[in-house]
């Protein structure tokens, strides 16, 4: 009945397709993506942009004859819906939008398993309702819903669609000047120009980044070297320089563990009792931030081994795995270290088998090195307790000194755990993800405690230094409502979101007393800090981090989206907050407050420059023009 009524209205099908697709897209933007709306203008732009994109795309159909016109509308609606839906599924996990480099990481999809299934909802079928309507109308009523315009009218239709799109862009520029320069903030782009125009722009950016390597000639390096010398790397030696000289390094990356669980409880139970106790015997950085982007765990690995920033789009491990780097394993090899990675996952996931070799690792103990069965695996694979237990024998066989990294798996989205492995109850909120998060974090904490005991029994503990940190967030801002409930906050602000990017960071040296360190720090600082603890001073190295135990360090930590944390301020999404109180002291939408704005602006300029320099090195593969020498 509905379809028959639509056919009698004599509405051209391309207009109906544009209206239905625009409405659907706006609903997804407004109610399924977690896009922040700060004023009426932003709401208007968000409403307009899906219709502007849809009218331009479907207006192309008027240039075809009847049969091809209907075919274009059918498949155009289907393809557009699939693009929208794939972005929605991706967003549910990463709170981000798909980029071209991410598509090249499609080989990872085969390993997602239950993680991908958890992101698909039965109600998603409603997003394909307009596809069904257009499909049936184009098949059954093609004569009454097609158009047969002359060339002049076709040009008018297309011109009107282009003007509509340009009007959308003008409004967006008024609301957010220099919008297309904010390539690091995909939410801004989608909110203002729409998802589909964002994808077109992303294609252009990808082409530009590919051209950068061809055009690079190494002349960029002196400016970068000068910036690093003046603003990043501290030349002062700390009192801990060389304290772990020639010791083994056992590096443990804790999957998705965030700092909000440390020294915290759920249902009256400690979430991480072992790590809480470990703080007393370690150097523990309570204001340590992950700095990953779309590459997640692989970005974390890139940061800690290279002290450079990951890319704003895609993962360096995939897009630039053949570049020249000067990574920690390569430097340590010059000082007699044997390096290895332990991770019970597919060796090609995140292109690790290629990237590890390029970074200088000697051995990769991946999935095939472990006995994995139904009893000892769940979710993404081998449970952490079995992973550590099976790894000890390999660790004992390594030549010393060694640099060995371990990457856990159990505390990975969707945070599945069997009842017999769960030693604390789930949280009770509207977010299944957050509810399940606490038992899996506790399981990882128990596995870490067990690993320490096994290392002591095997004799590997005493002559080692331990570096333990969370790799990236586990709970995205898609679950802000539940997180605000757990943290007893009215809502999660931009300030709170940045603070939730803190991850635990321990440096544990057996026999050394520890202390809690409140200085702002990040994953970019791990490489120079570790090398200096081992007594290695690499003066010609180019790193954007600093030795955290040295004085006069850099005064900010930059996140990949352009946010930053300094001693006094937290900056995110054009808002400047007091770091201690969380009080908003400047925002673009609250009016002009020059003094407050200037407080964040000088650091923001440094952040943008530093991120740009790091990107130049990677996109241009600039280290191929640079000579490194490892020095004692």
Give catalytic residues, as residue numbers: 297
Non-local (6+) Cβ contacts of 25 within 8 A are 50, 53, 54, 84, 194, 195
Structure tokens at 303: 């940061």
End-to-end CA, the chain: 82
Helices (H) and strands (E) in the chain, counts: 23, 19
Alpha helices in 60-194 (DSSP H): 66-94, 100-103, 114-117, 129-140, 142-145, 151-175, 186-193
Non-local (6+) Cβ contacts of 1 within 8 A are none
Alpha carbons 258 and 2: distance in angstroms, whole number: 51
Cα dihedral 589→595→601→603 (10° resolution): -130
Alpha carbons 190 and 198: distance in angstroms, whole number: 6
Alpha carbons 338 and 346: distance in angstroms, whole number: 22
- Of 533, 474, 466, the closest CA to residue 505 belongs to 466
Structure tokens at 100: 């071209």
SS (H, E, C) 510-553: CCCCCEEECCCEEHHHHHHHHHHHCCCCCCCCCCCCCCCCCCCC
Residue with tokens 């299944």: 432
Q: What is the DSSP letter of 311?
A: P
Question: Taking the CB of residue 25, how many other CB atoms lie within 10 A of it?
Answer: 23
Give the burial string for 560-582 (b: 16+ CB within 10 Å, else e).
bbbbbbbebbbbbbbbbbebeee
The answer to whether the CB of 62 falls within 8 A of the CB of 149 is: yes
Cα dihedral 110→111→117→118 (10° resolution): -150
SS3 assignment, position 441 = helix
DSSP symbols for 321-339: TTS----HHHHHHTTT-EE
**Element spanning 397, H or E:** helix 384-397
The answer to whether the CB of 550 falls within 8 A of the CB of 502 is: no
Q: What is the DSSP letter of 449?
A: H
Alpha carbons 468 and 453: distance in angstroms, whole number: 16
168: region left, alpha or beta (phi > 0 left; psi from -120 to 50 alpha) = alpha
Q: How far is CA 604 from its chain centroid? A: 20
Alpha carbons 130 and 77: distance in angstroms, whole number: 8
Alpha carbons 474 and 290: distance in angstroms, whole number: 11
What sign results for the dihedral spanned by CA atoms 63, 66, 68, 70?
positive
């Amino acid at each position: 009945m509905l379809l028959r009524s639509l056919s009698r209205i004599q509405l051209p099908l391309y207009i109906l397709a544009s209206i239905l697709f625009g409405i659907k897209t706006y609903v997804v933007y407004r109610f399924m993506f977690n896009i922040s709306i700060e004023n009426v203008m932003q709401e208007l732009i968000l409403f307009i942009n899906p219709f502007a994109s849809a009218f331009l795309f479907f207006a192309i159909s008027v240039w075809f004859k009847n049969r091809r016109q209907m075919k274009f509308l059918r498949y155009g609606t289907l393809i557009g819906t699939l693009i929208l839906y794939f972005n929605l599924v991706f967003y549910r996990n990463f709170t981000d939008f798909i980029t071209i480099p991410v598509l090249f990481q499609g080989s990872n999809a085969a390993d997602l398993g239950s993680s991908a299934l958890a992101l698909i909802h039965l109600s998603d079928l409603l997003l394909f309702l307009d596809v069904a309507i257009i499909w049936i109308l184009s098949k059954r009523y093609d004569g009454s819903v097609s158009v047969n315009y002359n060339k002049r009218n076709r040009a008018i239709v297309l011109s009107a669609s282009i003007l509509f799109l340009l009007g959308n862009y003008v409004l967006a520029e008024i609301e957010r000047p220099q919008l297309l320069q904010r390539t690091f903030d995909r939410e801004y782009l989608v909110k203002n120009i729409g998802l589909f125009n964002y994808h077109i722009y992303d294609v252009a950016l990808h082409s530009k980044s590919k051209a950068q390597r061809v055009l690079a000639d190494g002349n960029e390096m002196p400016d970068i070297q000068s910036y690093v010398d003046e603003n990043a790397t501290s030349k002062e030696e700390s009192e801990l320089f060389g304290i772990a000289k020639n010791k083994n390094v056992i590096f443990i990356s804790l999957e998705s563990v965030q700092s909000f669980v440390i020294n915290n409880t759920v249902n009256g139970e400690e979430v991480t009792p072992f790590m809480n106790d470990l703080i007393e015997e370690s150097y523990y950085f309570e204001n340590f931030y992950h700095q990953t982007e779309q590459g997640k765990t692989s970005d974390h690995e890139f940061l800690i081994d290279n002290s450079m920033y990951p890319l704003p789009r895609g993962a360096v491990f995939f897009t630039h795995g053949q570049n020249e780097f000067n990574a920690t394993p390569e430097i340590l090899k010059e000082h007699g270290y044997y390096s290895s990675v332990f991770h019970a996952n597919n060796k090609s996931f995140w292109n690790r088998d290629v990237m590890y070799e390029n970074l200088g690792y000697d051995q990769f103990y991946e999935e095939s090195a472990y006995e994995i069965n139904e009893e000892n695996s769940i979710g993404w694979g081998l449970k952490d307790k079995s992973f550590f237990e099976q790894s000890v024998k390999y660790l004992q066989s390594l030549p010393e000194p060694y640099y060995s990294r371990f990457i856990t798996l159990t505390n990975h989205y969707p945070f599945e755990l069997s009842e017999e492995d769960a030693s604390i109850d789930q949280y009770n909120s509207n977010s299944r993800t957050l509810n399940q998060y606490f038992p899996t974090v506790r399981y990882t904490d128990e596995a870490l405690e067990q690993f320490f005991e096994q290392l002591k029994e095997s004799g590997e503990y005493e002559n080692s230094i331990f570096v333990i940190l969370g790799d990236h967030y586990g709970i995205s801002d898609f679950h802000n409502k539940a997180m605000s409930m757990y943290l007893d906050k009215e809502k999660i602000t931009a300030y709170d979101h940045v603070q939730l990017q803190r991850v635990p960071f321990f440096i544990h040296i057996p026999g050394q007393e520890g202390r809690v360190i409140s200085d702002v720090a990040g994953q970019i600082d791990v490489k120079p800090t570790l090398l200096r603890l081992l007594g290695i001073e690499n003066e010609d190295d180019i790193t954007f981090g600093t030795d955290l135990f040295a004085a006069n360090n850099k005064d900010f930590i930059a996140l990949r989206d352009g946010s930053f944390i300094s001693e006094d301020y937290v900056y995110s999404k054009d808002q400047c907050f007091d770091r201690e109180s969380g009080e908003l002291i400047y925002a673009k939408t609250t009016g002009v407050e020059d003094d407050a704005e200037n407080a964040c602006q000088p650091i923001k300029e440094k952040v943008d420059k530093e991120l740009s320099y790091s990107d130049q090195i990677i996109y241009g593969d600039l280290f191929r023009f640079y000579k490194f020498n490892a020095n004692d």
